[in-house]
């Protein structure tokens, strides 16, 4: 029986990063992963295969098409007869995925991580550690890391199949639906709804919650909703779904909104109502691995489960289901196993929605800070007063800084606007070090750049914005 120091079950962002970092630290490492794409093993999990990466490729392609259609003329560029070759667009998306999943396989070889393709199952504990069935081969490992990820939550009234799809199906439509329904106005629903709206679909988004993006700062969610509605996304909030039926030509949805029963017909229906932990086939019950009431693997502050030598990270332990959060947990755990001080600061994990305009935030919202009893000051600065944004012809949105009025410490930063996914990083770095609004305001930002809006928002916390 082959023996390893560390065996990782799951090859998504949490698992493959944990495996690579453990190997860098001198451990003998193996990883078992069952994900397949096109009938072949494909490392990277949901993120690389059917989530983060392919969705961003489609968002980029569809945004370019919309720009050519509606904005090129403003730049003095006349374009006639622009059309979508959906097959080629999907092919480009797949090629991006191939490069990155192949890159993970290369990194495993480079770092001498043994890869098994198939299911990983905890079998029993023995003197050498844990015996694990790795794709049909029993191996033993001193440390086992469970990183099996999550799966799309299914709506009981609308099981997946046919015209009812989750994120992977919504990235593989062979033609643009004329009418597209989306249940769930979260990150996935809004991003995928945006893709198909740009390509010509009439998109209706149904959300059970009473308002949009309740986790975001109120000012950001209000501005984002205004922009999305202006683009043509049709939102309905406070909706209760009562019936979903499908036939050969599409899907019928019956729902209640403002005490009125409404029926709608769609060619396709995307269900994006969250995700659930994926523990099927892990052998949790047989070995006594403790799960919580929602099915997540229970861990302590060092990712230890109730079983000695068994750890868990990523989506399967709950919390923010974000690839970058999962990756950091992988690094932290590998370093902890090596006797180092692995740590993740969950207070400043950034959130990003890759729509147009983009949305990004980290830390406390203004409302959240006040609810904690903090004395708060805020500064806000619009992209409409920024030279680079004007030159780019995209002045939507703003940056908002939330700081402690007594200490000036930055509590949160919230953005909606062009390329804010690339702007949030500097604010996270400053918050990671407990920095102040003054630290951010005194940092020299290149001119002209979008990042100057971040500086100006920090200045605005003391009513010192220079260009407003």
Pull the structure tokens for residue 162: 């046919």
184 is in an annotated binding site: yes
Query: What 3-state DSSP class applies to 461?
Result: coil
Q: Confirm whether residue 150 is marked as ligand binding.
A: yes
User: Any known ligand binding at 73?
Assistant: no
Is 129 assigned a ligand-binding role in the annotation? no
The verdict on whether residue 87 carries a ligand-binding annotation is: no
342 assigned to a ligand binding site = no
Q: Is the peptide bond before 448 cis (omega within 30 degrees of 0)?
A: yes
The tokens for 458 are 């920090």
Give CA–CA dist 108/34, Å, rounded: 16
Per the DSSP assignment, residues forming a β-bridge with 381 are 399
Check the annotation: does 148 bind a ligand: yes
> Quick check: is 447 catalytic?
yes
Alpha-carbon span 435 to 129, nearest angstrom: 43
Q: What letter does residue 296 receive in the DSSP assignment?
A: P
225 known ligand binder: no
Does 281 belong to an annotated binding site? no
- The residue whose two tokens read 């994120």 is 167
Residue 446 burial by Cβ neighbours in a 10 Å radius (0-12, 13-18, 19+): exposed
Residues, the chain, total?
A: 468
Helix (H) or strand (E) holding 37: strand 36-37
By DSSP bridging, strand 268-271 and strand 120-126 are unpaired
**70, 302, 447, 467: which one is catalytic?**
447
Is 325 labelled a binding residue?
Answer: no
Is there a binding annotation on residue 56?
Answer: yes
Pairing of strands 137-146, 3-9: parallel
Asked if residue 188 belongs to a known ligand binding site, the reply is: yes
List, as residue ranges, the binding site for NAD(+): 184-191, 207, 274
Could you tell me which residues are annotated as the binding site?
Answer: 56, 120, 148-150, 184-191, 207, 274, 315, 321-324
Which residues are annotated binding-site positions for FAD? 56, 120, 148-150, 315, 321-324
Active centre residues (catalytic): 447
């Amino acid at each position: 029986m082959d023996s390893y120091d560390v065996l990782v079950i799951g090859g998504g962002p949490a698992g493959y990063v944990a495996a690579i970092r453990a190997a860098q630290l001198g451990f003998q490492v193996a990883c078992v992963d069952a994900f397949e794409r096109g009938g072949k093993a494909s490392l990277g999990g949901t993120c690389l295969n059917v989530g983060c990466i392919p969705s961003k490729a489609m968002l980029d392609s569809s945004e370019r098409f919309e720009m050519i259609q509606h904005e090129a003329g403003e730049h003095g560029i006349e374009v006639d007869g622009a059309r979508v070759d959906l097959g080629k667009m999907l092919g480009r998306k797949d090629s991006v995925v191939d490069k990155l999943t192949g890159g993970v396989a290369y990194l495993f070889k480079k770092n001498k991580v043994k890869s098994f393709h198939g299911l990983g199952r905890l079998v029993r504990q023995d003197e050498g550690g844990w015996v694990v069935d790795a794709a049909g081969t029993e191996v033993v490992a001193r440390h086992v890391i469970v990183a099996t990820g999550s799966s799309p939550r299914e709506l009981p009234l609308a099981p997946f199949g046919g015209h009812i799809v989750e994120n992977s199906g919504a990235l593989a439509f062979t033609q643009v639906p004329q009418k597209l329904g989306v249940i769930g106005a979260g990150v996935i629903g809004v991003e995928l709804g945006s893709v198909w709206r740009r390509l010509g679909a009439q998109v209706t988004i149904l959300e059970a919650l009473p308002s949009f993006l309740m986790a975001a700062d109120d000012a950001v969610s209000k501005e984002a909703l205004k922009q999305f509605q202006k683009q043509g996304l049709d939102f309905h909030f406070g909706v209760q779904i009562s019936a979903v039926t499908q036939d050969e030509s599409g899907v019928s949805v019956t729902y209640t909104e403002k005490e009125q029963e409404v029926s709608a017909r769609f060619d396709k229906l995307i269900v994006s109502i969250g995700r659930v932990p994926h523990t099927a086939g892990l052998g949790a019950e047989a070995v006594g691995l403790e799960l919580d009431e929602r099915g997540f693997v229970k861990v302590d502050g060092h990712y230890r489960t109730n079983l000695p030598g068994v750890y868990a990270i990523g989506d399967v332990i709950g919390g923010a289901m974000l690839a970058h959060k999962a990756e950091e947990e992988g690094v932290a755990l590998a370093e902890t196993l090596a006797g180092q001080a692995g740590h993740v600061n969950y207070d400043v994990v950034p959130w990003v929605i890759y729509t147009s305009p983009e949305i990004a935030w980290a830390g406390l919202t203004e409302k959240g800070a006040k609810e904690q009893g903090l004395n708060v000051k805020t500064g806000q600065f619009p992209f409409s007063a920024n030279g680079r944004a004007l030159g780019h012809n995209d002045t939507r949105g703003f940056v908002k800084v939330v700081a402690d009025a007594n200490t000036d410490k930055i509590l949160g930063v919230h953005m909606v606007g062009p390329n804010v996914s690339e702007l949030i990083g500097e604010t996270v770095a400053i918050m990671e070090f407990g920095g102040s609004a003054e630290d951010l305001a005194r940092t020299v930002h290149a001119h002209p750049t979008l990042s100057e809006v971040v500086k100006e928002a920090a200045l605005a916390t003391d009513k010192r914005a220079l260009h407003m």
